[in-house]
Structure 1
Amino acid sequence: MHRVALMPGDGIGPEIVEAAVQVIEAAGAGIEWVRLPGGEGARRKLGTALPEETLQAYLECGVGFKGPFAVGAEDEMIRPGRRRGIPGGGPPRAYNSATNALRREGGGYAAVRLARSFPGVPSPLRGVDLAVIREISEDIYIASEYTVGDDTAVALKVITRKASEKVIRFAFEFARSHGRKRVTVITKANVLRQTDGLFLRVAREVAGEYPGVECDERFIDASCALVVQRPSLFQVAVMPNQYGDIFSDLCSSLAGSLGLGAGATYGTEACLFEPVHGTAPDIAGRGIANPVSQILSGALLLRHLGEDRAARAVERATEEALRDRSHHTPDLGGEATTRRLTEAILSRVK
């Protein structure tokens, strides 16, 4: 029996998490869900979007399954308490969102977002099938900012050899274990020669250890243009944090919807599985949210737990259900409800 921290989240989160839990359980995996508060609902009730009890329970489980958390530009920083098992409790930490706190406190180093075209699903392009892997612990998203007077704001961009090597090696291992022949390293090293330049230099070093995997190099702006024209050129793409956040959304949209992409953050202390989209407050509670991103993130969770048969069952059932346009939710151009699509997937889980 696997213990998994479950955080339904905000907006459409509770709806799609409930759908995903039903599908995962129907696949036969033995999971004990540890339900925990988090997000805006926790902030309203408990005064923080990430209660200390939630964080500690997540770390104790070592794996989490969460819906999207709401994040506001004016939200207070998340400041976890003392770390257990560390003399003195460790240095003070501050994060700009509960999700980032979960990722970073779990030792997150690689965020994986899968984007693929599904038969029967209308999309701007066919042939999208790639894994976007972004470094998750540094780059400009460390949110180290300061102001100089009233008219100048500065953000610090940090790239280290250690973090770069870890995520790049993860990308090559991912490619090798998933039968993919090419890793594309995406940077803007022609402009940011020190930071992105370091990331690229490390990638070249690591690539030499994987003779069976082709490595090519592209700039982020050119990659955005090229993936729209020839998505098949990209199989596994690895890049610094901010580029990956943007590029992965583009790829999911090209495949038909952000509601189709699976997401996971892999860490040294805990791994977090979650959809690639946000809370969609405009449709929350209306029963029309697409649960596929959450469900396929659940398939990644199952693979992480060693439940490969169950993961394959979830993936096959989802693909089969999406072939029928009567099961498509509004984001896919259809009129189906969350419940209808979920039931179609459940009926196909074997």
Structure 2
Amino acid sequence: MNPFTLSRLHARPLVSVLVANYNYERWIGRALESLLAQTYPHWEAIVCDDGSTDSSQEIVASYANRHSRIQLRTQPNAGMASALNTAFRGARGELVALLDSDDEWLPGRLQTVVNRFHRTPQTGTVTHFVRAVHAGGHTLKPIHPRHLDSGWLAPSMLAGREPGLPPCSGLTFHAEVARRIFPLPVQFRRCADKIAQDRAALIAPVSAIQQALSLYRLHGANLTGLNGPCTLAELESNFVFLEQLWADRRSFVHAQHGFLPDIRPWRDIESAHLQLARRLFTGEPHSADYLSALTSPLQRQIWRLLLALPAPAAQAALRLWWSENAFKRLFRNSWDSLRQPA
């Protein structure tokens, strides 16, 4: 299984920015202002309003009327994947970037990403950290996720290792990769960026910029966030999503590379944390293989401790571990400050 060969970009490639919006009147203007503040000028933005019932559509229209680089597309509500598909149909750029309508890019984001594509010409996806912020703007997490992977990730993905990749606003694709990953399956009304990043990493190498170049805003209306599944219902919802993701991954690999991968490593290794968490909530026996599937010795020790605790204590400890909270922020920020060079 080899990556596809990609064409070289022009010196100043046009970047098509895809924005899916639904009822984010409070944030969409800030997202578009962050685009207008970019130091790299060669971009176009295609915003698909996914049937908003608030004033989002009017706000985007006012920007489109004043700025020719911003376009508005509208559709009845159909979910994130469908909205991104609609936006992508209007894309003309050599690069395709995703921007969540409640996020913001820092001013040098596009220039830094374009520079990275030029330095690594066979890269299919450039990623970067995002800074998780509260609705009011204060930092919840300086970098998210905790690590980013680079290189040709497909072999390790097929072996069951979930790669370190950022959410929507940290993703930019070479257009030749984007044309292979779009259209996205419309059943993914949420987390469509996960499908896009998953597919892209199976096409060509990833290059990660090790700095936060966007603000990832967490607020009450978010469909996703920093928390893991901490109830049985949330766990079961995650398993449903993963089964859909794996089915799409399998058919995508078959379509792009001509073979059907084995799904068992994904169930046994990629979902090991969730399988162990299910044990905490149901009391059902678990296979020792799930513990051995964890790559970190520290995580294996934590799970052994959790599984040895009485169920109420274990569930409370899991919520502390997998939920964003003030204690974790204090510990994480203190640890990160200690790791900074003097």
Judge same fold: TM > 0.5, yes or no.
Answer: no
Relative contact order, higher structure (CA 8 A, sep 6+)? 1
